Structure 1
Amino acid sequence: MPIDILRSDGDEPLRLRSDRSMQRIRRGAYVDRASFEALPEDARHEVWVRAVAAARPGAIFARESALALAQLPHGRPEAVFTIGDPGASGRRAGVVNAQSPVADVDVLIEDGIARCTPAAALAQLARVGRQIDAVSALDAALHRRIATKEEVTDALGRQGRRGQRRAEWVVAFADPLAESVGESFSRVQLHRLGAPVPLLQVRVQTRLGPRFPDFLWERPGRRPLGGEFDGAWKYGVIADANGVQPVDAVIREKRREDALREHIDTLHWMWDHVMQPTRLGAMLAQAHIRVRATLLPGW
């Protein structure tokens, strides 16, 4: 659990509401404001889920909420998702419940909280969630060996017909070689752009050792083209992993990049290119990678 949730009853909420050091999560649930605000945005949903679990101990969490508890990517859900409660329907107090039954084999309990297994939650998200979120979640689950494609397909067979074809596409498209949410998002947008399918994490031997660009395209008559998704956190992660200052990490990474460019051309993009894929498409076209004039639709 990322931070402690304080439950309150009686007159306690009056004190907590006036305490500026506390953040109200939902009725009767508060957390330390500084700790909550320090959490990455994608980690805050788990706090909401655990607050609901404290208020509804019999709830079974599903979809993005189950994935958050499993520490898997889950997008930016605007509600907490539960399943299997025949007495609740629709959206209430920020919780969306699906009345459809869930098989015992698709439920597990950890820390006293019931949730769908990763495979079942991945299947649910692939059926009814955003394409880009479903791919990033399954990519991460495969990469970390939390679930297999076979397990997700098996769980799909116990769920409703709605969205089955969408889910089958996600399962087929997912790849364990994708190493971050940014790479997964990039893969979906490259698909929507109609770009040739890139190779992932191909080893390129340089004078400074092997490098593994996120993406690689062969270009007949030209040098191969590498593609790198650079999240804003990249150099901080590199620094932490090597115990060096960020500026030194930047210098070392620049030297490795120069060595890589002796063998292939490279493109770098960030979140703004991924979220505005026409910009990414323009970069690829300039690098002689064929893309579509119009984006394929997402869902």
Structure 2
Amino acid sequence: MFFDGNPFTRSDAAAAGWSVNKITALLRDGYIRRLVRGVYVDALAADSIELRAAAIARVAPPGAVICRRTAAWLYGIDTLALHEHRDLPSVECVRPPRRRATRLPLSAGHSQTLLHGDVVELGDLSVTSPLATAVHLGRHLDRPFALSAIDSMLHAGLIGHDKLRAAVERYKRHPGIAQAPELVDLAEPLTESPGESWLRLRVIDAGFPRPEVQVAVSTRQRERRIDVAFRGACPDGRRLGLEYDSDRWHSDDRADTRDSARRDELEEVGWLILPVRRGDVLGRNPALELAIGEALGIQPRLPRRW
């Protein structure tokens, strides 16, 4: 493998006699891949926390603590599902002695308070712990993306609900902490994708009853799971379920046929299923809230908050 499967920078490549055009061609043809901004690895190298940590260590400032979205990525959590970056964001880090941001060309420094116990060591790299990372994401990311990050960390078993509540309490009166307790209360460990988190938050913000997630329903063919569901009966006697159909897994004719058959199965046993796409969840169009409100017989709270 290139560089024995170890992360390398453009400087490393240049020292090995590689041109910029060669790096571009290897990326295009899938022989290498980017790990973080400015760091590459052979495409055959197996992904792992150790590999990600080694990549970050190549561009992190000396003595810095990796935090926020970069720390989440290191733990295997995607906080960039919506953004679809062609180029990866800068490494997010903080240098603790002065509690001030560290700024280098390949890093994004932050002013970030670190309390006792917030930092763990992964090899030669200092990183905010999973609990501290979740708290800081809850403080600093926009609500929908902060919630999806917390949901994902709970789902992955990196953190627990009770310990997360206690960690948030430690940061009382710190900037941005006001939204974190709300998001921790709304978090659902069973949520399986960022889109489901955004959908659930949209439902709650519209004033509808808090739904359940990943509800098991037995049909005549098999057991199905509904992403977001209301157990109470609608005015017409059916129960309402919302299915978040991601662009990645629900974008071809075969997927449409499969999804349609699945909805038919659920409707046979008394469920009304509303398919939801990313465009329905994001933006200012209130069509989703109006459709849910019509089904439940409840007037939604509008306009949308985000």
Shorter-chain TM range is 0.7 to 0.9
Partner of 1:118: 130
Does residue 273 in structure 1 map to residue 280 in structure 2?
Answer: yes
Deviates more, 1:5-14 or 1:160-169: 5-14
Q: Structure 1 residues 247 and 274, CA, compared in 2 at 3 Å: closer, same or farther?
A: closer
Distance 2:26 2:57 in 1: 20
Letter matched to residue 16 of structure 1:
S
Distance 2:277 2:145 in 1: 17
1:167 paired residue among 175, 180, 201: 180
Does residue 5 in structure 1 map to residue 11 in structure 2?
Answer: no
1:16 paired residue among 4, 15, 19: 19
Partner of 1:260: 266
Letter matched to residue 177 of structure 2:
Q
Partner of 1:138: 150
Letter matched to residue 258 of structure 1:
D
Tell me how many residue pairs correspond in the alignment: 277
CA shift digits 1:126-181 (9 cap, x unpaired): 11211111111111222222101222233334446212221111111111122211
Q: Structure 1 residues 99 and 204, CA, compared in 2 at 3 Å: closer, same or farther?
A: closer
SS of corresponding position for 1:96? strand
2:200 paired residue among 179, 184, 187: 187
Deviates more, 1:6-15 or 1:99-108: 6-15
Deviates more, 1:121-130 or 1:16-25: 16-25
Distance 2:149 2:36 in 1: 30
Q: Structure 1 residues 147 and 289, CA, compared in 2 at 3 Å: closer, same or farther?
A: farther
Distance 1:145 1:10 in 2: 38
Deviates more, 1:218-227 or 1:246-255: 246-255
Q: Structure 1 residues 69 and 52, CA, compared in 2 at 3 Å: closer, same or farther?
A: closer
In structure 2, list runs of 5 or more residues that go unmatched: 28-32
Letter matched to residue 53 of structure 1:
A
Letter matched to residue 17 of structure 1:
V
CA contact (8 A) 2:102 2:108 kept: yes
Q: Structure 1 residues 129 and 208, CA, compared in 2 at 3 Å: closer, same or farther?
A: same
Partner of 2:90: 79
TM-score normalized by the length of structure 2 = 0.75
Q: Structure 1 residues 118 and 249, CA, compared in 2 at 3 Å: closer, same or farther?
A: same
Deviation, structure 1 residue 286: 4.2
Letter matched to residue 19 of structure 2:
L
2:160 paired residue among 148, 153, 168: 148
Deviation, structure 1 residue 57: 5.2
Q: Structure 1 residues 197 and 127, CA, compared in 2 at 3 Å: closer, same or farther?
A: same
Q: How does 1:1-299 map to 2 (within 5 A)?
A: 4-7=6-9, 8=11, 12=15, 15-19=18-22, 20-21=24-25, 29-31=38-40, 35=43, 51-55=55-59, 56=61, 58-75=63-80, 76=83, 78-86=89-97, 89=101, 91-103=103-115, 105-159=117-171, 161-217=174-230, 218=232, 219-234=234-249, 254-262=260-268, 263-276=270-283, 278-290=286-298, 291-295=300-304, 297-298=305-306
Q: Structure 1 residues 272 and 107, CA, compared in 2 at 3 Å: closer, same or farther?
A: same
Percent identity, aligned pairs only, is 25
CA contact (8 A) 1:22 1:31 kept: no
Distance 1:59 1:181 in 2: 29
In structure 1, list runs of 5 or more residues that go unmatched: 37-42, 237-245
TM-score normalized by the length of structure 1 = 0.77
SS of corresponding position for 2:58? helix
